[in-house]
Chains A and B, each alone.
Chain A
Amino acid sequence: GENVEQHPSTLSVQEGDSAVIKCTYSDSASNYFPWYKQELGKGPQLIIDIRSNVGEKKDQRIAVTLNKTAKHFSLHITETQPEDSAVYFCAATGANNLFFGTGTRLTVIP
């Protein structure tokens, strides 16, 4: 089945700096790659997603890039703010369901 690896597991950045989280997947048939943000005590929140026919997608300060050949995709957050502090999960499709990475705890230092 699909295997999704996510790095780093923790990331600390200064407010205003950029943050990058990387994921790799194993199933070449995967065609959908969402990113979720989970704050303490809450459910995962869909923040951006990309399909396999697109290489990059942006939404304000957030962008996702996909390299199908290398089977990896990344989340980029620019001009980070304290409210960006959370755990971020990547996911990839496989066998009619989503497989999630192990999460990255992002801390934005004011």
Chain B
Amino acid sequence: DSGVTQTPKHLITATGQRVTLRCSPRSGDLSVYWYQQSLDQGLQFLIQYYNGEERAKGNILERFSAQQFPDLHSELNLSSLELGDSALYFCASSVSSGVYEQYFGPGTRLTVT
């Protein structure tokens, strides 16, 4: 157990809908990273927040957004969902603002029908 928690574990929704994924980092970690894992694209970095501020952006679609709250938990919002958004979404956390020593949560499996 990495200490990173994610909810929900599974999510099934229809195309065009909007969902919110939630992540709580390990105690003491200030950075939260979001990743998407799919069979064709592998594990891809989406976005990083450090102590409430956006720190780095990867291949995140405009339909997706994230935020980190004062208690350091983070939410990833996915809107106007398409079939191709079906994937595993992982959150990771680390102590520093750099990319080092990231610990992953158990993930949320999103299925868009």
Chain A's closest residue to B88 (CB) is A43
The reply to whether A98 and B101 form a contact with Cβ atoms under 8 Å apart is no
Interface size range on B against A: 20 to 34
| Chain B stretch 56-95: residues in CB contact (< 8 A) with chain A | 56, 58, 90
In the complex, how many residues of chain A place their beta carbon closer than 8 angstroms to a beta carbon of chain B?
20
Chain B's closest residue to A43 (CB) is B104
The reply to whether A49 and B106 form a contact with Cβ atoms under 8 Å apart is no
The reply to whether A43 and B102 form a contact with Cβ atoms under 8 Å apart is no
Taking the complex as formed, is B107 at the interface, i.e. its CB lies under 8 A from any CB of chain A?
Answer: yes
* Complex Cα spacing A4 to B107, Å: 23
**A43-B90, A43-B106, A102-B42 known; A97-B100 Cβ under 8 A:** no
Chain B's closest residue to A32 (CB) is B100
Given the complex, which residues of A lie within 8 Å of B100, measured CB to CB?
Answer: 32, 49
Given the complex, which residues of B lie within 8 Å of A103, measured CB to CB?
Answer: 42-43
Question: Which B residues fall within an 8 A CB radius of A?
Answer: 2, 4, 33, 42-45, 48, 55-56, 58, 90, 98-107
